[in-house]
Chains A and B, each alone.
Chain A
Amino acid sequence: MSNLPSVEARVRNIIAEQFGVKAESLRPETSFMKDLMAESIDTVELIAALEEEFNVEIPDEDAEKNQTVGQVIEYMRKKVTDKGH
């Protein structure tokens, strides 16, 4: 479980880089659509960046369910934990 904070930090950094914002300005409830004005191209790029960072595959249907920063962090925590088992 010691790697969980690190997953959160890495996810926040990737989101911040993708949207050109500061990582500390991202809150769990920050919405990709409403707050970050994400377009489909952003979503595709973000998924690719997360897949590369964590060496996992993220199905499109999973990606659609995660609409906020907090949801993505939780999803990636689970992915990383599952991968470790």
Chain B
Amino acid sequence: MRGALIAALALAAAMVLSMTTGVREVSAADWWGALTAYDPYDPAHVTLAAVRAPRLAAALIAGGALGAAGSVMQALTRNPLADPGLLGINAGAAFALILGTTLLGRADAATVSALVFPGAAAAAVAVFALGGGMKGDAGPVRLTLAGAALNAFLLSLVTALALARQDGFDVLRFWVAGSLAQAEARPLAEMAVAAAAGTGLALALALRLEALSLGGALARGLGVGAGRTQAGALAAVALAAGAAVAVAGPVAFLGLTAPPLARRLAGHSLRAEIAVSAMLGAALLLAADAAGRVILAPMEVRAGVMVALIGAPVFVILARRLRPGAPA
């Protein structure tokens, strides 16, 4: 419980930071005005309502979803290095994005969002099918291998398209770093529903996943069907990570870093870990986005880059503290 409280406080602090950090000075009067008499021609009002608030919402969706999905992936594959990208989510999204924008000849934010989520979901289904999930026995090793193979295949197609098409390369170049700068133009409400559904499903499946981590035979003895639990967990990951990639692009490291931090705070209950990991993921993404706004102002460092800059050292420290043979 103490862990959840710490995570919630960190999240609240990051939310305040996100709404108050930026190149524009916003006074208390501006806050009051934006809430009571919104003026679409006032830059301070627009900053609060159309720049910072959508970024806050997008970070809560993407960070929370990636934190939860990362925990599920690590529990499902019994591998502390697993992250949602292993399911081919990012590669599928990138492939759908570059193919779709090339065929349609347009790359506005609405088009990008409409392409990314189906691409991510299709890739997750493909990995599940390739890993033997349709026959009900997608073991952790088979899933990991299928994911790695599909990732490599899709990313080579993406590279081929990007090399052949200058405009496609430009679209990809800006998308691939992951950013909240376009949050205002993204389908936040729809993706919030998808992320909440994915996280809710993950929380509901947490006990079964813990049983499954004891091995397929023991899980069956406890009345847990391996195939159905895996399918449900992958659906949760696809929904949550697909929503994250649709609002923020591929944000690396978040799904990898938040779960081990959460395990240290929440102890070894998967349900608590998923909840804490979601809060920490959102807090980390919010802090990274806020830092990216001011570190090179007026230019912005993309949130995906800042997450990797902050997340990588944290991850290395966690990995070094790991005792050999201990669960991460």
Partners in one complex: no
By a beta-carbon cutoff of 8 Å, the part of chain B in contact with chain A is none
By a beta-carbon cutoff of 8 Å, the part of chain A in contact with chain B is none
